[in-house]
């Protein structure tokens, strides 16, 4: 008898703004294991809408880094598939259509307020919590079009598209963190979802593409929990399905901050060029994830049989002196 279980479908969604580092690799490994351990398929999508930071050749480097680790995918820019194109900058027509649907419902509008404007409005005597940067809807109904908003700004500055947030609590059940709730209108206000005339920005693109590509699970770092609430609002407004969300702790340095150049070169390409075996790097990622002892060397496929999200520690993974020594950093 044919199974009636829904097809599990995950995604790896790197941005070509630079080389992958150990923090990226750990999230991608967990996303891969979560889906593959349940017999699911994986889409690789390049999220290249952050144009000023996109680096030429970075996408090819990402493919090389992921394959070096032993991660694979069923569909993507380099292998094709029925849901292409798998590069977001080639999917602008879909975002334009979604933006038009939001505007027709009165849920999206152009805004010329800067971060400083929002901060100053919140610190005014009549403002809300001075520590909050919730947007108060100042530009609601102010401009009839994107072009009109552009004309109100100095040359070189662009408006943003904002989503009209409804009152009430946004909630979802995270498969790792449990129940997550946010007063979207009160804490974020009318959030920005794109700085592009076609609506081609991270929030809208993720919501549209996850649905179009049939993604049923999104596993990513827990720094994106608030972004998930925004994407849930966009999904609901557009009548799109809601994936299962899994937010895992980040990899941080001993100072508690996320990995950066100040913490040493943790790029996968640098480790590979230095002769560090891929199995050692995967073993480290597995140790950070509660899946292997310290110093183990393994391939991602070796971790499938015993994989469980329940084994992943609740605290951030730490790049400490012992890890540095093992990797020769």
**What would the pLDDT profile of 99-143 be if each residue is shown by its tens digit?**
999 999 999 999 999 887 776 655 544 344 444 568 989 999 999
* 8 A C-beta contact, residue 13 and residue 51: no
Report the range of poorest mean pLDDT among 40-49, 108-117, 189-198, 286-295. 108-117
Helix axis angle, 225-238 to 202-212, nearest 10°: 60
Residues with Cβ within 8 Å of 329's Cβ and at least 6 positions away in sequence, in order, are: 264, 265, 266, 323
Half-sphere exposure of 305 (CA within 13 A, CB side): 3
User: How confident is the model over 244-273, as pLDDT tens digits?
Assistant: 999 999 999 888 888 765 556 899 999 999
CA distance 319 to 104: 48
Pick from 58, 65, 52, 82: nearest CA to 23: 65
Q: What's the pLDDT score for residue 300?
A: 98
- In angstroms, the Cα distances linking 24 to 37, 115, 165, 249 are 20, 28, 31, 11
Q: What's the pLDDT score for residue 309?
A: 97
CA R_g for the chain: 21
* 8 A C-beta contact, residue 69 and residue 29: yes
Phi, psi of 89 (to 5 degrees): -65, -15
Residue 283: pLDDT over 60: yes
Residue 2: pLDDT over 50: no
**What sign results for the dihedral spanned by CA atoms 65, 68, 70, 74?**
positive
Q: What's the pLDDT score for residue 54?
A: 84
- CATH architecture assignment, domain 91-248: 3-Layer(aba) Sandwich (3.40)
Q: What's the pLDDT score for residue 130?
A: 41
Confidence of residue 86 (pLDDT cuts 50, 70, 90): very high
Residue 148: pLDDT over 90: yes
Confidence of residue 3 (pLDDT cuts 50, 70, 90): very low
Q: Tell me where in the chain the CATH 3.40.50.620 domain(s) lie.
A: 9-89+249-327, 91-248
Residue 4: pLDDT over 90: no
- In angstroms, the Cα distances linking 201 to 72, 137, 175 are 27, 20, 26
Per-residue pLDDT averaged across 52-79, rounded? 93
The pLDDT mean for the chain works out to 91
DSSP annotation string for 134-178: -B--TTTTT-SSHHHHHHTS-TT---EEEE-PPSSEEEEEETTTE
Q: What's the pLDDT score for residue 225?
A: 96
Give me the percent of the chain exceeding a pLDDT of 90.
81
DSSP annotation string for 30-70: HHHHHHHTTT-EEEE-B----GGG--TTHHHHHHHHHHHHT
Q: What's the pLDDT score for residue 256?
A: 85
Query: The domain 9-89+249-327: what is its CATH number?
Result: 3.40.50.620
This model's pTM is above 0.85: yes
Per-residue pLDDT averaged across 199-215, rounded? 97
């Amino acid at each position: 008898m044919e199974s009636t279980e829904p097809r599990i479908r995950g995604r790896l969604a790197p941005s070509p703004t630079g080389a992958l580092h150990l923090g990226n690799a750990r999230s991608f490994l967990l996303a891969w294991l979560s889906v593959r351990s349940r017999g699911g398929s994986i889409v690789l999508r390049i999220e290249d809408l952050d144009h000023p930071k996109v680096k030429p050749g970075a996408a090819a480097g990402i493919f090389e880094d992921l394959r070096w680790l032993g991660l694979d995918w069923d569909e993507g820019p380099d292998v094709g598939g029925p849901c292409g194109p798998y590069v977001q900058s080639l999917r602008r027509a879909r975002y334009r259509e979604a933006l038009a649907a939001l505007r027709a419902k009165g849920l999206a509008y152009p805004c010329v307020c800067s971060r400083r404007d929002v901060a100053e409005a919140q610190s005014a005597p009549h403002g809300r919590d001075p520590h909050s940067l919730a947007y108060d809807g100042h530009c609601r109904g102010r401009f009839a079009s994107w072009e009109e908003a552009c004309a109100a700004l100095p040359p070189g500055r662009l408006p943003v598209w904002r989503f009209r947030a409804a009152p009430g609590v946004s909630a979802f059940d995270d498969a790792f963190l449990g129940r997550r709730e946010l007063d979207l209108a009160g804490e974020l206000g009318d959030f920005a979802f794109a700085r592009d005339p076609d609506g081609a920005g991270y929030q809208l693109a993720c919501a549209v593409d996850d649905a179009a590509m049939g993604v049923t699970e999104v596993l990513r770092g827990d720094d994106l929990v608030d972004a998930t609430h925004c994407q849930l609002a966009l999904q609901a407004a557009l009548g799109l399905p809601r994936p299962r969300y899994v937010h895992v702790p980040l990899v941080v340095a001993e100072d508690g901050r996320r990995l950066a150049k100040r913490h040493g070169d943790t790029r996968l390409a640098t480790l590979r060029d230095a002769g560090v075996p891929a199995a050692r790097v995967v073993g480290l990622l597995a140790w950070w994830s509660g899946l292997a002892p310290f110093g183990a060397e393994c391939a991602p496929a070796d971790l499938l049989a015993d994989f469980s999200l329940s084994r992943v520690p609740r605290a951030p993974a730490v790049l400490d002196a012992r890890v540095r020594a093992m990797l020769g950093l």
